[in-house]
Amino acid sequence: MTPDYSAILNTIYAEIQPLLSEGEVASYIPQLSTISPQHFGMAVYCLDGRTFAVGDAHQKFSLQSITKLFALALAFSREGDSIWTRVGREPSGNPFNSLVQLEYERGKPRNPFINAGALVISDILSTRFVQSDIAVLQFARMIADEPNIDFDTTVAQSEHETAHRNYAIAHLMKDFGNFHNPVRTVIESYCRQCSITMTCAELAKAGSFLAQHGSIPWNGTQILDASSAKRMNALMLTCGTYDAAGDFAYRVGLPAKSGVGGGILALVPGDLAVAVWSPGLDTTGNSLAGTYALERFTTLTARSIF
Ligand code: GLN
């Protein structure tokens, strides 16, 4: 039976209201701290083209680490399995911006969704493209079918001014020989990439190819082969929400990617993509109300991968 997505989104919207004052908006990127934690939006993009939305689902927000998914899809589609010589495929069990593991694992990041791994992917893209940030932006525009998607240069600049940890991570990897381009060039591109904004409605649509075996639902363009799309889903499940990935799989049961802007993209393979945005974060850097909303979504729709 097809769930009544409109009614379910309205139920969730009512339920999450008390949670909006509980999370903490990210402040280590100063510009992100100016966003009110009271926002909440959620959008569903079904592979048959039906869409559903509630709350601030049509308001742009900073994608941040969700762009790591697009950068990885682009790198994986162009470079194939060779990327795994530079970055691993295991959950880190550490915060997304940790340096600790990188030292004793000799500069090879655990996975492409923590900052170290995403910086290696940016480095790989910087070797392949003249401007890796523009390549990721164009890719995002294509998969969202939305030419107006853009960077938020104020957020990018704000992040770059305080990017000491990402600089430290990149320099450490360079010392181990796992970083080929100039650190500054790659970090500037990475900050612009992270600053891409989308609405929940755009994000759900952009992620839908990953729910449909790598092909864009509305025009059939094969972005990734089915096997690679399956692997992306596996990485999202095991690593997409940092060191909370186990708890997220337990509570929500879907492959997902989160960002410190408060967004989360989740997939029901073969069925739909769902995006949620609420800027208040829990202590692991995932949207507090957003995670709860997705937990309720899989419960109320009886849809998950398990
Ligand atoms: N741009 C952010 C950073 O590098 C992204 C982190 C995130 O969303 N978890 O710190």
Q: Give the CATH number, domain containing residue 177.
A: 3.40.710.10
Look at residue 32 and tell me whether its pLDDT is greater than 90.
Answer: yes
Same domain, 237 and 209: yes
pLDDT bracket for residue 252 (50, 70, 90): very high
State both tokens at 201.
């409605």
Other C-beta atoms within 10 Å of 206: how many?
28
142 and 236 both lie in a single domain: no
* pLDDT score of 163: 96
| 274 shares its domain with 180 | no
CB of 241 closer than 6 angstroms to any ligand 1 atom: no
Mean pLDDT, to the nearest integer, of 138-152? 98
**In sequence order, what E strands does 111-209 have?**
197-198
Angle (nearest 5°) at CA 148 between 160 and 132: 45
21 is catalytic: no
Q: Per-residue pLDDT averaged across 31-44, rounded?
A: 96
C-beta of 259 in contact with ligand 1 (< 6 A): yes
Nearest CA to ligand 1 atom 4: 115
Distance 49 CA to ligand 1 centre (A): 31
Residue 83, pLDDT above cutoff 80: yes
Whether 19 is in the pocket of ligand 1, judged by its Cβ within 6 Å, is: no
Establish whether 257 is a catalytic residue.
no
| CB-ligand 1 contact for 115 (6 Å cutoff) | yes
Q: Is the CB of 260 under 6 A from ligand 1?
A: yes
Q: Across residues 212-222, what is the average pLDDT?
A: 97
Residue 170 CA to ligand 1 centre (angstroms): 14
The total number of structural domains that make up the chain: 2
**Final residue belonging to a domain, choices 165, 194, 223:** 194
Active-site residue among 190, 205, 228, 278? 190
**What is the Cα–Cα distance from 229 to 247, expressed in whole angstroms?**
23
Better-predicted residue by pLDDT, 200 or 2? 200
> Does 272 reside within a domain?
yes
Tell me the two tokens of residue 295: 């937990």
Please say if the pLDDT value at position 113 is more than 80: yes
- Position 306 in a domain: no
Report the chain's mean pLDDT, rounded to a whole number: 96
pLDDT surpassing 80 at residue 1: no
Annotated catalytic residue 260: yes
User: Mean per-residue pLDDT for 116-144?
Assistant: 98
Q: Domain of 97? A: 65-194
CB 87 within 8 A of CB 112: yes
Provide the pLDDT confidence category of residue 94 given band limits of 50, 70 and 90.
confident
Q: Do 213 and 292 belong together in one domain?
A: yes
The alpha carbon of 300 and the centre of ligand 1 are apart by a number of angstroms equal to 31
Q: Which range, of 17-26, 89-98, 173-182, 268-277, averages the lowest pLDDT?
A: 89-98
224 within domain boundaries: yes
d(CA 260, CA 280): 9
Instruction: Give buried/exposed letters for 2-22 (b at 16+ CB in 10 A, else e).
Output: eeebeebbeebbeebeebbee
| pLDDT above 80: residue 242 | yes
Q: Are 181 and 126 in contact (CB under 8 A)?
A: yes
5 catalytic? Reply is: no
Among the three residues 157, 177, 194, which one is the final residue of a domain in this structure? 194
Contacts of residue 161, Cβ cutoff 8 Å, sequence gap at least 6:
30
* 8 A C-beta contact, residue 70 and residue 140: yes
pLDDT at 93: 85
Q: What average pLDDT score do residues 28-36 get? A: 93
HSE on the CB side for 238, CA within 13 Å? 14
CA distance 281 to 57: 18
The pLDDT value given to residue 200:
98
81 shares a domain with 20: no
Provide mean pLDDT across the span 252-258. 98
Which pLDDT band holds residue 65 (cuts at 50, 70, 90)? Answer: very high
**Cα radius of gyration (the chain):** 18
Residue-wise burial string across 91-118, b where 16 or more C-beta atoms lie within 10 A, e elsewhere: bbebbbbbeeebeeeebbbbbbbbbbbb
Give percent of the chain above pLDDT 90: 96
pTM: 0.97
Q: Is residue 74 part of a domain?
A: yes
How much distance in Å is there from the Cα of 163 to the middle of ligand 1?
A: 10
Q: Are residues 188 and 210 in the same domain?
A: no
Residue 91 has pLDDT above 80, yes or no: yes
Which string of b and e fits 146-163 if b means at least 16 CB within 10 Å? beebebbeebbebbbeeb
Kind and range of the H or E element at 126? Answer: helix 115-128
State mean pLDDT over 183-197: 98
Above 90 in pLDDT, residue 21?
A: no
Residue 96 has pLDDT above 90, yes or no: no
The number of residues in the chain equals 306
Mean pLDDT of 219-242: 97
